[in-house]
Structure formats: structure tokens, C-alpha cells
Structure 1
Amino acid sequence: MIGRIMGVDLGDVRIGVAVSDPLGMSAQGIEVIRRKSEAEDIKRIGELLHQYEVQKIVLGFPKNMNGTIGPRGEMTQQFATLLKDTFQLPVVLWDERLSTMAAERMLIEADVRRDKRKQVVDKMAAAIILQNYLDSL
């Protein structure tokens, strides 16, 4: 058994969270954390890591379309270090270009209303990031 892997889509306002099944085959969005403070965000992530017995974190890494790393990418790298240091788990930065747009498109195709889309797009993006990582293994 690989153990569960958590996918995280870090945003300014919300953090989308997904987890894999215990065999590491499929990803499922589980929660959208409304950001309050770094301490509260980390506390909630810690609770989810414990609840799902997560062994590894895959953090969506926003790169510019030309592959360079901008301010959001640098912020994500700092968050990855914080996760690593706090939870003593491996953290993988995974290219997330277009994952939120893909999630948004899937929800539109599924005819989900705009107000409802806002509530779930982040955890869907986290699931897409995690699923892409799982598929690469």
C-alpha cells in the first residue's frame, strides 16, 4: 500500500483539498478551506492529514505559460517549505497550469450554476492536480 496522498490547490482566498484512495489510484476533492490566517490554514490541513492518514502532499505549482516562476510560484514554494517543516511529510510541487480552467470547464459542461461552481472549483482543481500526479506514477 502506498498510503493516501493529498492534493492541494493554494489560492489567495481558498485552498482546495483532495485526497487519493489508499492505493493511490484515484483522486477525490474533499474540502475547500476558506483562508483566514496561515496558522488556521495549516491547522486545518493538519487535521485533514491526520483524518485521512496522508503520507505525501502534492501542491499545485503555478508556473507562467512560458515555464518561468512568478510571484505566485514563489509564494507556493514558501508554502511547500512550511508544509514540509510543519508536518515532516514529503511535498511535491506539481505543475498546475490550466487545472483550475479545466475544473471550471468540466463544471460548465455539467451545467453547474455559477454560484455553485465557485464553491467546488477549488477542490476539483485540487483533484485534477492530484489525479495528474497519480497518473504520472
Structure 2
Amino acid sequence: MSGPVDEQPGLPRGVRLGVDVGDVRVGLARSDLDGLIATPVETLGRDTAARRVLEEALELEAHVIMVGLPRSLSGAEGAAAEKARAFAAELATLLETPSPQTEVRLIDERLTTVSAHRALHSSGRKGRRHRQVVDQVAAVMILQQALDLERSSGRRGGELVEAPHHPAEQDRTEEER
């Protein structure tokens, strides 16, 4: 059995966040300090979600935020993936100044919401009430997948998201920066 995550090179001890981006709601989950288990935090309104995730990341001193990237079974990306990428870029931009060491990563989340609905249904929760928590459950599944990958590979999973830079900033010389 491998040791705690903090003993593995490149993976310091610390909280990780998981995010499931939807059109109306965003699910948020967090890990323990050792990155062993994901637990639900809350369901956020889409319009205020990025700011709330930022607050949570700063408060918990999160090392990484894993944003689910919905792809089709073939791996193709559609409108939902575009929205997740935009949300991740927004988070990276918001974190750039107050917490530049916090990474934002996109992680493949094929079928996560479907699996979350199934899990809620099998636990006896009525379909009508799924909406209240399904985004949190999906965020937990996204984050747990990322944590499991970290433990098995010894490295972060997913695709690193860089804060987009404005073209005008690229035109400035190093001295001006």
C-alpha cells in the first residue's frame, strides 16, 4: 500500500476542490488535507459560482481546483465542454493574483451526472429532489476520480488551465511588466 499523498513528490498535502459546471447550477466538493476522500460542499447558482469557488479556495488554501470537462463517449467536446472551459479560465483568472499557486485543471467527466442521478436513485432519493444535490454528487465524483488518479500515478490528473492573457499585455515589453 502506498503512503499518504503528501509523501509523493510533486503532490503536497492540502485541500483539493471539485467543480461540476451546469447551465443553472454548479456543484462544489472538497477533499480532506491528505487528498483521500471527496465530500460535498454546496450547490451554487451559476451566476455567482466562480466568485464563491474562489472564496472557498482561498479560505481552504486549496492546492488545485478540478473542473469537470463533459465530453461525449467518443471524446468529442460540445457546448457543455465549452462552458466548462470558460468557467475554468474564469477561475484561473480570478486566482491569478490572490492565489497564483492554486492550479485549475480540467478533468474528463464523461457520464458523471448520469452516474450521480443513478446513485441518488439507488439511495432512495426521489427524482424530483435530485436537482437539489445532483451537482454536488457529480462534483464529488469528479474530485474523487482526480484523487484516485493522483494516488495511483503520483501526479495531478487532467489538463492545466492557464489564465488567459489579453493581447495588449503580450505587446508590453518585459520592463513594462
| Both proteins in one fold, TM over 0.5 | yes
Relative contact order, higher structure (CA 8 A, sep 6+): 1
Once the two structures are superposed, residues 77-108 of structure 1 have per-residue CA deviations (whole angstroms, 9 ceiling, x without a partner) of 12211111211321111111111111111111
Counterpart in the other structure of 1:110: 123
Distance 2:17 2:124 in 1: 27
Which 4+ residue blocks in structure 1 deviate beyond 4 angstroms? none
1:1-137 superposed matches below 5 A: 1=6, 2-35=13-46, 37=47, 40-88=48-96, 89-137=102-150
Structure 2: gaps of 5 or more residues:
1-5, 7-12, 97-101, 151-177
Distance 1:132 1:26 in 2: 10
Distance 2:82 2:116 in 1: 23
Distance 2:50 2:129 in 1: 26
Which is richer in helix? 1
With the length of structure 1 as denominator, give the TM-score of the two structures.
Answer: 0.91
Which is richer in strand? 1
The RMSD of aligned alpha carbons is 1.2
Count of matched residue positions in the alignment of Structure 1 and Structure 2: 134
Identity across the alignment (%): 37
Q: Match for 2:32: what amino acid?
A: D
Once the two structures are superposed, residues 60-89 of structure 1 have per-residue CA deviations (whole angstroms, 9 ceiling, x without a partner) of 001121111112212211221111121132
Q: What secondary structure sits across from 1:23 in the alignment?
A: coil
Say which one has the larger Rg: 2
Q: What secondary structure sits across from 1:3 in the alignment?
A: coil
Structure 1: gaps of 5 or more residues:
none
Q: How far does residue 126 in structure 1 lie from its aligned partner after superposition?
A: 0.2
Q: How far does residue 52 in structure 1 lie from its aligned partner after superposition?
A: 2.3
Distance 2:149 2:124 in 1: 30
Once the two structures are superposed, residues 36-70 of structure 1 have per-residue CA deviations (whole angstroms, 9 ceiling, x without a partner) of x3xx3222112211232211100000112111111
With the length of structure 2 as denominator, give the TM-score of the two structures.
Answer: 0.72
Distance 2:103 2:115 in 1: 26
Distance 2:145 2:51 in 1: 26
